Structure 1
Amino acid sequence: MSPLDALDPKYRLILCDVWGVVHDGVTLYPGTAERLCQWRDQGRCVILITNAPRTAEAVSGQLERMGLPRICWDAIATSGEAGIEALNALGRPVGFLGTRGDWAILEGRGVRLAKGDDFTDLACTGITEERPNPEDYRPDLERWADRDVHMHCLNPDRMVVRGGLIEACAGAIADIYQGLGGRVTWYGKPYDTIYRHALHLAGDPPADEVLAVGDGLQTDILGAARMGFDAVFVSGGINEGAPFPADFAERYGLGEWRPVAAIEGLA
């Protein structure tokens, strides 16, 4: 029996991570749809909260193509939405580091992207197939750091598991950039902007009625703890079955905080 089968009725809002909990980048995990629908049938609000550097609409389309019915969630909160809002507010063209698909999404939402090297801000959405290793970007990062280019990281994840293989994300590039002295603004978990957005979508419930579910220690779990939410740690996904670290709270100055449960997956 899973701890999720006897979930406390006080949790009126479920903030559920996507990659590593709902799917592995290619395939839905077993039992995902059933669990999400069960929560909604119980009268809970289900917000999928993801560090995808894309729009909620794009994430919704991806999930439906994977076979997850739209009835499984109430709304989607993405780091991409938060980043797009900030980039548009700049009112000037920005540099870009990411895939052609992400370029099209940002452009489609009105973000002005620089065609050359004349920019003071840069949107980082992730790696490309041509350069899969974050270290491949170091020469560019060194050049931008020397020019004091401000990087906007639209996906704080350092890595994910895609179809069983480890894949680096935008956060790994931003880590290198910060190490070079570059300025970085981070959007998404564990930073509060995405949580405020998600809470607003759910009618702004109090923190003690929120349960976060995720596998990312530096993102899902740390973000939940800092927001004062209870959390369920998913040991599958990026953790490959590893237990919750005993020193997690001490490492991040969280006092006695611990997740209320640890599970392998949603099933």
Structure 2
Amino acid sequence: MSYLDALPERYRVILCDIWGVVHDGVNLYPGAAERLLQWRSEGRTVILITNAPRTAEAVESQLARIGLPRDAWDALSTSGEAGIAALTSIGRPVGFIGTHADRVILEGRDVQFADDGEFDQLACTGLDDDRREVGDYKSTLEDLSRRDVLMHCLNPDRVVVRGGVPEPCAGALADVFLSLGGRVEWYGKPFPSIYRHALGLAGDPPPDTVLAIGDALQTDVLGAAKMGFEVVFVAGGIHAGEPFPHDFGPQNGLGDWQPVAVVDGLH
């Protein structure tokens, strides 16, 4: 019997990661939709919380294509929404690193981009359509660092696994940029803004009524732990079945903190 089969009644809000927990970027994981539907049928609020550098509407469309029923969740909190709010408040065009599809989504929310190279801030949603290795960006990032351009990283994830294949994310580019002396503003897990947004969608519940579920140690787990939430670690996602690190708490300033459960998946 899984810990997830009979969650304690005190958990009224579930903050559930998406990629690596609900799907692998291509297919739903077995039992994921059924589990989310079960929790909602028990009267719990399910908030999907993701470092996707896109709008909630764009993520909802992706979930529909993959086959997750709309009634499996109550609301979506994305790092893209937090980043968009910051980018539109700048009041002038910014640079961009990411796919054409991501750019179109941001432009649809009134983010203005500079194509003439005249910018002092930049939005990064991930790798672009042509350069698929982090090393391909070194000269670009060196130039941006010399110009003291501020990078807005709309996805702190370093890597995701799409259909079984690892794929670098915006966080990997931001790490290189920092190593070159660049400046980065981060949006998404493990930073507080995305959790505050998610809690607002759930009616601002007390932290002790919230259960966070995720598979990435340095984003999902660390962010939720620092917010004071209890956490279920999904070992079958990005960390491919590795055990929960025994020294995770001490290494991250959390003392003897441990997740309330370690599971292979939502099934």
TM-score class, shorter = over 0.9
The one-letter code sitting in structure 1 at the alignment partner of 2:156 is: P
- Alignment deviations for residues 23-64 of structure 1 (CA, whole Å, 9 cap, x no partner): 000000000110000000000000000000000000001001
In the other structure, the counterpart of 2:95 is 95
In the other structure, the counterpart of 1:162 is 162
Identity rate of aligned residues, in percent? 66
In structure 2, C-alpha distance between the alignment counterparts of 1:60 and 1:207, rounded to whole Å: 26
In the other structure, the counterpart of 2:234 is 234
In structure 2, C-alpha distance between the alignment counterparts of 1:102 and 1:114, rounded to whole Å: 15
Q: Does the Cα contact within 8 Å between 2:98 and 2:129 map onto a contact in 1? A: no
TM-score, scaled to structure 1: 0.99
In the other structure, the counterpart of 1:45 is 45
> Does 2:262 align with 1:254?
no
In the other structure, the counterpart of 2:132 is 132
In structure 2, C-alpha distance between the alignment counterparts of 1:225 and 1:119, rounded to whole Å: 37
In structure 2, C-alpha distance between the alignment counterparts of 1:193 and 1:119, rounded to whole Å: 25
**C-alpha deviation, 1:131, in angstroms:** 1.0
Describe how 1:17-166 pairs up with structure 2 within 5 A. 17-166=17-166
The one-letter code sitting in structure 1 at the alignment partner of 2:8 is: D
In structure 2, C-alpha distance between the alignment counterparts of 1:35 and 1:114, rounded to whole Å: 44
In structure 1, C-alpha distance between the alignment counterparts of 2:116 and 2:53, rounded to whole Å: 22
- Alignment deviations for residues 216-240 of structure 1 (CA, whole Å, 9 cap, x no partner): 1000000011000000000011111
User: SS of 1:238's equivalent?
Assistant: coil
User: SS of 2:238's equivalent?
Assistant: helix
In structure 2, C-alpha distance between the alignment counterparts of 1:159 and 1:26, rounded to whole Å: 15
User: SS of 2:123's equivalent?
Assistant: strand
In structure 2, C-alpha distance between the alignment counterparts of 1:26 and 1:129, rounded to whole Å: 18
The one-letter code sitting in structure 1 at the alignment partner of 2:23 is: H
In structure 2, C-alpha distance between the alignment counterparts of 1:219 and 1:116, rounded to whole Å: 34
In structure 1, C-alpha distance between the alignment counterparts of 2:116 and 2:41, rounded to whole Å: 51
In structure 2, C-alpha distance between the alignment counterparts of 1:218 and 1:77, rounded to whole Å: 18
**C-alpha deviation, 1:155, in angstroms:** 0.1
In structure 1, C-alpha distance between the alignment counterparts of 2:18 and 2:263, rounded to whole Å: 15
User: SS of 1:237's equivalent?
Assistant: coil
In structure 1, C-alpha distance between the alignment counterparts of 2:166 and 2:65, rounded to whole Å: 22
- Alignment deviations for residues 167-199 of structure 1 (CA, whole Å, 9 cap, x no partner): 000000000000001000000000000000000
The one-letter code sitting in structure 1 at the alignment partner of 2:217 is: L
The one-letter code sitting in structure 2 at the alignment partner of 1:148 is: D
User: SS of 1:243's equivalent?
Assistant: coil
Specify every segment of 5 or more residues in structure 2 that has no aligned partner in the other structure, as ranges: none
Specify every segment of 5 or more residues in structure 1 that has no aligned partner in the other structure, as ranges: none
In structure 2, C-alpha distance between the alignment counterparts of 1:18 and 1:135, rounded to whole Å: 27
User: SS of 1:233's equivalent?
Assistant: strand
TM-score, scaled to structure 2: 0.99
**CA-based RMSD:** 0.5
> Does 2:14 align with 1:9?
no
In structure 2, C-alpha distance between the alignment counterparts of 1:236 and 1:86, rounded to whole Å: 34
Q: Does the Cα contact within 8 Å between 2:124 and 2:153 map onto a contact in 1? A: yes
